[in-house]
């Protein structure tokens, strides 16, 4: 499977690793992010691979720019076969340093940025009755975790959003998937103030995602022994859930 792929948030972390992984498999990858210099570095790194990377700088909070990117790509090289809606940021939130601006920024980028990307590419796929969309969420969307009030809320919203859209997209011949990784070694996760079990190297996570994109299953989640455990924990009564998560993350030992 190869064709034209569009990835938002492609300048670092999972997005960058996915761009290189897909280029190795022969895809033409359109990489979008705000940092043009980082994108040019990605283009250079992809030289010599079976596919290639095309840099299209843009901010996911700018719907008009995203629409222009998609229109330009489809005019130049053909339909986008795969869209990975990936741009996101992690801003820790604590109750004793509660900052509404962190919520505003998180929702603007993680949630509304994803909505903007969908608005740019989804109507074209529906019109063609073909295409695949993958929305990057997180296991933080399964339930509340320490310091993740803003980030987790956006990821929970993305899981719900993708699941809700699936009912319509199934009827239009468009595949939608949600990517819910466990802890992956990225600049964002390195700021987590608690132990991260089953922490995965970035390249291994990208390989898992690429493998999941070759299937039609709705959720791409890994490592399953961890993510399924989290799903099970979130089915517990809150009287058990909170002390268990606090103990597992070391939060019960932290001073206020």
Read off the pLDDT of residues 67-93 as tens digits, 9 standing for 90 and up: 999 999 999 999 999 999 999 999 999
The residue ranges of every structural domain in the chain are 4-253
Query: 178 pairs with which residues across the strands?
Result: 135, 219
Region for 99 from its dihedrals, namely left if φ exceeds 0, alpha if ψ lies in -120 to 50, beta otherwise: beta
142 catalytic, yes or no? no
Mean pLDDT of the chain: 93
200-212 residue pLDDT tens: 888 999 999 999 9
* Residue that wins the pLDDT comparison between 68 and 229: 68
How many whole angstroms separate alpha carbon 120 and alpha carbon 226? Answer: 34
How many whole angstroms separate alpha carbon 176 and alpha carbon 217? Answer: 9
143-183 residue pLDDT tens: 999 999 999 999 999 999 999 999 999 999 999 999 999 87
Would you state the structure tokens that stand for residue 111, as one six-digit string? 């949630």
Q: What is the pLDDT of residue 225?
A: 86
50 in Cβ contact with 3 (< 8 Å): no
43-66 residue pLDDT tens: 999 999 999 999 999 999 999 999
CATH architecture of 4-253: 3-Layer(aba) Sandwich (3.40)
Exactly one of 151, 228, 238, 241 is catalytic; which is it? 151
Q: What is the pLDDT of residue 2?
A: 83
Would you state the structure tokens that stand for residue 113, as one six-digit string? 């940025």
223 preceded by a cis bond (ω within 30 of 0): yes
Residue 250 has pLDDT above 90, yes or no: no
Would you state the structure tokens that stand for residue 16, as one six-digit string? 């960058």
| Residues 6 or more apart whose Cβ sits within 8 Å of residue 224 | none
């Amino acid at each position: 499977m190869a064709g034209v792929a569009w990835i938002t948030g492609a300048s670092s972390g999972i997005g960058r690793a996915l761009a290189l992984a897909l280029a190795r498999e022969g895809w033409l990858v359109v990489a979008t992010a705000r940092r043009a210099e980082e994108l040019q570095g990605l283009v250079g790194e992809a030289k010599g691979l079976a596919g290639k990377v095309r840099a299209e700088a843009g901010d996911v909070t700018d719907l008009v720019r995203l629409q222009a990117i998609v229109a330009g790509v489809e005019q130049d090289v053909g339909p986008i076969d795969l869209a990975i809606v990936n741009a996101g940021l992690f801003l820790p939130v604590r109750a004793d340093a509660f900052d509404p601006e962190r919520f505003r920024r998180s929702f603007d980028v993680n949630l509304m940025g994803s909505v903007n990307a969908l608005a740019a590419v989804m109507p074209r796929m529906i019109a063609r009755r073909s295409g695949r969309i993958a929305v990057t969420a997180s296991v933080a969307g399964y339930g509340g975790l320490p310091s993740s009030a803003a980030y987790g809320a956006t990821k929970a919203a993305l899981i719900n959003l993708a699941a809700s859209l699936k009912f319509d997209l199934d009827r239009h011949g468009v595949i939608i998937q949600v990517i819910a990784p466990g802890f992956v070694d990225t600049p964002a996760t390195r700021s987590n103030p608690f132990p991260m079990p089953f922490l995965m190297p970035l390249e291994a996570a990208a390989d898992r995602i690429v493998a999941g994109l070759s299937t039609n299953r709705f959720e791409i989640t890994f490592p399953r022994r961890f993510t399924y455990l989290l799903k099970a924990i979130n089915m517990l009564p809150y009287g058990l859930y909170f002390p268990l998560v606090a103990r597992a993350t070391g939060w019960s030992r932290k001073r206020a």
